[in-house]
């Protein structure tokens, strides 16, 4: 028990020293952070080349500077449209608490500048099931077509040995050779009468 206690205390001491060393490194580097909204255009072009002149308004989905219409994550990292003089003028009115002076069309333009779709548009039926049904039916048709082509063009014709007459000849030959006289096929045959015993005739075989 004393040895385990010593090892436990030694492990705690090592972990505490690691925490102190990590804290010291952080203090030496003096890490500084700032909101992504304050990112300059030069930094955006370097690290987020797909954003263009659109504003970064948050960290977005998976911290990527991309716009995505998703009702489960409606707040994208960037606006939908790039800044234009008209949009900037509307945002100036919005920031000056002139919301009452904005017309309904101005408010719609502001919304469309930040978002491509409303929740109603995102949740509206798209008819995707029709495309999936067509793909499924096309797959079934293609599979059946390949089966037909395989049977008619690729696989050889069925062997003559599989014909009904040939199978009956094989059965009759087994009876003539008395194969399975104890428990097999020949045990069903009455050789004195030259016919199968009552109720013992194989299915599809002629009574001989």
Query: Does 26 have pLDDT greater than 80?
Result: no
Higher pLDDT, 141 or 87: 141
* In the block, residue with structure tokens 């700032």: 34
Q: What number does CATH give the domain 41-123? A: 1.10.442.10
pTM of the model: 0.47
Specify whether the CB–CB gap between 172 and 202 falls below 8 A: no
Q: Which residues partner with 1 through β-bridges?
A: none
Return the pLDDT at 205: 59
- Cα–chain center distance at 179: 59
Q: Domain limits of the chain?
A: 41-123, 164-207
75 SS3 class:
coil
The whole-angstrom separation of Cα 63 and Cα 45 is 16
Mean pLDDT lowest among 20-29, 60-69, 83-92, 134-143: 20-29
- Cα–chain center distance at 83: 36
Spatial CB neighbours of 188, under 8 Å, sequence gap ≥ 6: 196, 197, 200, 201, 202
The whole-angstrom separation of Cα 8 and Cα 54 is 55
Query: Does 16 have pLDDT greater than 80?
Result: no
The whole-angstrom separation of Cα 40 and Cα 180 is 94
**For 162-208, what is each residue's pLDDT tens digit?**
777 788 888 888 888 888 888 888 888 888 888 888 877 776 555 54
77 CB neighbour count, 10 Å cutoff:
22
């Amino acid at each position: 028990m004393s040895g385990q206690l010593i090892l436990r205390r030694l492990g705690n001491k090592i972990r505490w020293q690691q925490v102190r060393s990590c804290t010291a490194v952080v203090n030496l580097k003096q890490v500084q952070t700032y909101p992504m909204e304050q990112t300059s255009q030069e930094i955006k072009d370097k690290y987020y080349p797909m954003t263009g002149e659109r504003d970064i308004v948050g960290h977005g989905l998976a911290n990527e500077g991309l716009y995505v219409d998703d009702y489960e994550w409606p707040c994208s990292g960037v606006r939908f449209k790039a800044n234009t003089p008209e949009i900037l003028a509307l945002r100036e009115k919005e920031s000056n608490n002139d919301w009452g002076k904005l017309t309904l069309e101005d408010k719609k333009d502001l919304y469309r500048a930040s978002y491509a779709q409303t929740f109603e548009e995102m949740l509206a039926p798209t008819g995707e099931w029709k495309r999936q049904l067509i793909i499924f039916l096309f797959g079934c048709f293609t599979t059946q077509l390949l089966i037909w082509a395989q049977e008619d063009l690729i696989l050889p014709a069925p062997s003559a040995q599989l014909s009904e007459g040939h199978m009956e000849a094989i059965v009759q030959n087994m009876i003539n050779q008395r194969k399975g006289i104890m428990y097999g096929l020949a045990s069903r045959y009455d050789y004195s009468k030259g016919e199968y015993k009552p109720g013992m005739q194989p299915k599809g075989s002629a009574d001989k």
